[in-house]
Structure 1
Amino acid sequence: MAPAIPQTFSTFNIPPTRRHVETIDFLLARPSLELLPEALRPSARGFLFYLATLPTSAPHECPACASRSIALATPAGTHGLRRDGYYCRDCNKRFNVLSGTPLRLLRSEEKWKPWMSYRFQGFSQELIATFLGISNKASMTWSRAFMEAMADYDTELHRWWEDHQSTHISELTDEAEKALEECVARLTELSTLTDRHCPYCGSSSTQVLTSRRATEYQCHGCERRYNNLTETPLSHIQHMELWPEYLRLLVVGYHDTEIGERLGLSKSLTNLWRQRFLEFMQARWPLLVHWTLWQWSRRRASVPSGPRT
């Protein structure tokens, strides 16, 4: 059973790249391939199946000469062998199903598929090592080997995945881009809405008091005042004109310091905004939160030293 998705991100006082239990639970609760473009998901599923079944499969040809004239030489278990050994009748070379592949030196094959599945979910190599009980060095070795194996399995999947492992800003998938557009549209709506029902009692009998910033209302039912941001994670957050640009920078992976440099915001303010915007996105656009956390985990902050432009 998948862990429950946390109810709020507003309690985050640390960057979401840290090993915070709510962050981990949230990522684990998301579908493992949702970060990938929809067109590449079948290939990714196939690659996971390949990692799970390759160690117990039989080779079709000799990795040295490509001859199909091969035969079983030593069954698994003989003299402590972990998998079946074969020999080639043409070149007399001995090999097993992993010989000549990037995975030939790896161990603990029962953990290969879970490792790659966690990676597709956006977890770091270090955190996956903790999950699976392997060393960080082994996790790094597996990462290199799996990338090579992915290149052999599907070049398009490998190209996309490799591009999105760099420290540079990556393009969003179509699904994430659509979700971002919807979220930005909602932010715009909050700044222009003039007929919001009372968030306290639900009454529609209201009076518009002012239209500055977020429209303010007077409820005729409970006689309380409120605005378009009342009872939302963005309540009391200023500079609405910067919200759309801030949101895009956050989702594609810019860190607080980088965003502050670009938008002229203080570190404490960008820290507060990150917490509030993550909470705002979680209810209707969890994919954006997932993408944001993934970008945070793979990028290093690289803040320009020159003056802001």
Structure 2
Amino acid sequence: MDDHHIPPDYLRCLPIELHSEAEAFIRYLRELPSKSPVECPKCGHPRFSVEANSKPRIPSYRCAACNKGFNCLTKSPFSGFGLMHLWPAYGQYLLAGWSIHNAAKALGVAPSTTSRWIKPLRTAMAKEFPALYHWWSARHDRTNLEPPPHIAAQAQAFLNGLEHLLTTQQADCPRCGSRDTQRVDELRPNFYCSVCSSTLSLLRDTVLARLGYPEHWMGFAQGVINGETVVDLQRRTGLCVPACKRWQVRFLQMLEQQGHDDLIQWITWLRSRRVKEVGDFVREGGHMEAVTGSRYSADSKRRFSVPPHLIRKKH
């Protein structure tokens, strides 16, 4: 792992009441390789001795009863796994919702390594920290996507602000300061000032300036918050892929400008899990509904299934 790389703030996406348990889980992973056993894991005898070893990876022991060697990882989910010094860091990436590939890149190991680590870490979390596992696994496996309260509050504040921007019937004229303005556009917040006869737009100098189809903005914003992929967003709005990519960048910029950093981290987590969910579904032979309603569709009303290999290319 790069010495200059800072591990993610894994507590951002967790409810406050689980913070202490999450920290205990990371501490458990850090201390596990040096933890002293209390009995032989093979026969249960409490007496054993430390074996002499010039450069032990972890302390080795020999049972006084069965005369078999073991260490603190024997018959544990981590038995046979190496790079123990990276387990706590990977635990942080796992709790923060990082994908296998991104975590592997940050740690400087192969994706196959982080892929193998998931099972023992999940097993240990489920056994030693069940409350943390119950909450985290439901989000990781996308069986429950409800965010923590503080992130839900950020999402609602963002949606309320966007709705107010689109529906407000009042604005101050930036030229003369008058409030005697009249909305002149049903979909966009454009106004006419009757005092200085100037026009104004509340979208001017914002990331939404010159963005089309405002009737889709609320639904698109909700899709971004749900961690939907670009293809999901295309199905939601009927826009083409390039437009969905541009919109996705713009709305994430808005979130960043408004200081919703925890929500952005949550969206990143959900989006990585959604990509994996779709990929697993297609690899197992599932058929995704084709995108309809975009300008590239021959018939915007037609809905059909396509072969898995074509769906995989789109994702």
- Residue 263 of structure 1 aligns with which residue? 237
Residue number in structure 2 paired with 1:234: 208
Matches within 5 A, 1:1-309: 31-67=9-45, 69-75=46-52, 78=53, 80-166=55-141, 170-197=145-172, 204-205=177-178, 207-212=180-185, 213-217=187-191, 225-284=199-258, 285-300=260-275, 301=278, 303-305=288-290, 307=302
Structure 1: distance between partners of 2:36 and 2:55: 19
Q: Give per-residue Cα distances to partners, 1:203-248, cap 9 Å, x unaligned.
A: 7335424342233345799986421222221222233333232222
When residues 206 and 128 of structure 1 are mapped into structure 2, their CA distance, relative to the original with a 3 A threshold, is: same
Kept after mapping to 1: 8 A contact 2:7/2:92: no
Distance 2:117 2:7 in 1: 24
Equivalent residue of 1:86, what SS?
A: strand
What code does the residue aligned with 2:35 have? S
The answer on whether the counterparts of 1:70 and 1:88 sit within 8 Å (CA) in structure 2 is: yes
Matched-pair contact (CA < 8 Å) for 1:74–1:86: yes
Q: Over the residues paired in the alignment, what is the CA RMSD in angstroms? A: 3.0
Contact residue 252 and residue 291 of structure 1 kept, 8 A: no
Match of 1:14 in 2: none
C-alpha separation in 2, matches of 1:34 and 1:308? 39
Partner amino acid for 1:305? A
Counterpart Cα distance in 2 of 1:294 and 1:271: 18
Whether contact under 8 Å (2:181, 2:194) holds in the other structure is no
- Could you say what secondary structure the match of 1:72 adopts? strand
Q: Separation in 2 of the partners of 1:194 and 1:205?
A: 14
Structure 2 CA distance for aligned equivalents of residues 305 and 216 of structure 1? 36
Q: Shift of residue 46 of structure 1?
A: 0.6
Deviations 1:234-279 (A, max 9, x none): 2222333332322222222211212222332222322221111111
Flag the 1:197–1:93 CA change in 2: closer, same or farther, 3 A. farther
**Cα distance in 2, alignment partners of residues 220 and 286 from structure 1:** 40
| Structure 1 residue 188: Cα displacement | 1.2
Gaps of 5+ in 2: 283-287, 292-301, 305-315
- C-alpha change, 1:221 and 1:107, in structure 2 (3 Å) is farther
Give the stretch that moved more between structures: 215-224 or 117-126: 215-224
Answer whether contact 2:234 2:241 (CA < 8 A) is retained: yes
Which position in structure 1 is the counterpart of 2:297?
none
1:30 deviates by 6.0
Q: CA 1:171 to 1:258, structure 2 compared with 1: closer, same or farther past 3 Å?
A: same
Structure 1 CA distance, aligned partners of 2:191 and 2:13? 40
1:242 and 1:182, CA in 2 relative to 1: closer, same or farther beyond 3 A? same
Unaligned runs of 5+ in 1: 1-24
Identity of aligned residues (%): 24
Q: Distance in 1 between matches of 2:110 and 2:221?
A: 36
Q: Quick one: distance in 2 between partners of 1:185 and 1:63?
A: 57
Shift of 1:47: 0.5
What TM-score comes out, normalization by structure 1 length? 0.78
Quick one: which amino acid aligns to residue 51 of structure 2? Answer: T
